[in-house]
Amino acid sequence: MPPETPVFVYHGDVVAFGARLDRPRRREVRGTVALTRVGGQASVREDALNLDDRVRFKYASSAASGDSYMAGGSETHETRTTCTLEGLEFAGVVRVDFVNATLVSTFINDQHRFVEETVSMRGLWVNGKDRGLERRTPHIPKEPCGLEEIKRHAQNHGHLASRLDDLHTRPDGSPSPHCGKLVQTSNGHLACYLLEPSYIAFDRNGIRYELFLGEYLIYNQQRRLTMLRIESHPLPETKAARSLKLAVGGAPAEEDGDDDGDDSEDLEGSTTIAELAINGHRHP
């Protein structure tokens, strides 16, 4: 019988750029890579992207690797995911010069452990202002432990906040008093932020823009890191104005072809930058 193909212990995947835009209607995913069943290395590079002159970046790369080696007399399996993106421009209201993130886990003696979360974002410009960023250090035990153990540790040490909004940067730009804490989501997993400010919101041309920076989700045997998520949706009064326009015989912009020269006014949806995941469940 032929020898069995070795199956690597854990899975990793990366998406450098993802957009789900409702106005204009666009679905775009770039820079995706996933670790194969046998480990090894996988990488992809994306050249410049331009979505309708609304969203651009100059360069993106993603990589995932699975290596096995001996350490301290024990076989170690290491899963590593990395992502880099340069020159992001979003609707004329957000720019980022450089984004880089790395997520690493190891599997030793039947124990799965997340050992590294490295995040870097430089040259952030939001709504006409340069924004400095600092790295947050969340209160997560480094020793191997599952989701319930992490929750108990956070509760016992006062590191568990009540709501995700409690972790957000204050409107005046000052850090939240709960900075670095974890919060349990409605789905039962944990969440925190690895960057400060972690949340920036502003209104422009009838659109509410929300930026979430360094989102980190903790499942029982999975971690997911999203460096930047931008949500853009019309304000209530904008929706009402559009409804009134239609009621009196007008047509939505997509149909009448009008272009007032303001791209941000027509940009609605969700965009994610540098999303990395490592799944601690074995390959089937």
**Is the Cβ–Cβ distance between 132 and 196 less than 8 Å?**
no
Domain for residue 217, yes or no?
yes
Report yes or no on 21 lying in a domain.
Answer: yes
256 assigned to some structural domain: no
52-99 pLDDT tens trace: 888 999 999 999 999 988 888 888 889 999 999 999 999 999 999 999
Q: 205 is written with which tokens?
A: 């041309």
Structural domain count, the chain: 1
Q: Domain range holding 235?
A: 11-247+263-279
Residue 25 forms beta bridges with which residues? 22
Q: Which among 56, 23, 28 has a CA at the least distance from the CA of 207?
A: 23
Contact of 159 with 178, CB cutoff 8 Å? no
- What pLDDT, in 10s, does the model give residues 223-235? 999 999 999 999 9
**Distance from the first to the final alpha carbon of the chain:** 21
pTM score: 0.85
- Asked whether the beta carbons of 209 and 233 are under 8 A apart, the reply is no
pLDDT band at 284 (very low <50, low <70, confident <90, very high): very low
CA distance 239 to 148: 43
Alpha carbon distance 101, 81 (integer Å) = 8
Residue 54 located in a structural domain: yes
Q: Is the CB of residue 48 less than 8 Å from the CB of residue 23? A: no
Tokens of 169: 């940067």
Helices (H), 56-166: 147-156
Distances (CA, A) of 33 to 15, 42, 64, 71, 269: 7, 7, 7, 28, 24
Rounded Cα–Cα distance for residues 262 and 264 (Å): 6
Q: What is the pLDDT of residues 125-156, one digit of tens each?
A: 999 999 999 998 888 887 767 888 889 988 89
Q: Please state the rounded mean pLDDT for residues 235-252.
A: 55
* Residues 3-30 pLDDT 10s: 455 567 778 999 999 999 888 788 899 9
Q: Is residue 6 in a domain?
A: no
Q: Has residue 3 been placed in a domain?
A: no
Model confidence at 2: pLDDT above 70: no
252 occurs within a structural domain? no
β-partners of residue 101 are 83, 119
**Is residue 2 in a domain?**
no
Q: Is 192 helix (H, G, I), strand (E, B) or coil?
A: strand
Place of tokens 């990793």: 12
Selection from 200, 201, 161 nearest residue 180 by Cα: 161
Main-chain dihedrals φ then ψ at residue 98, nearest 5 degrees: -155, 135
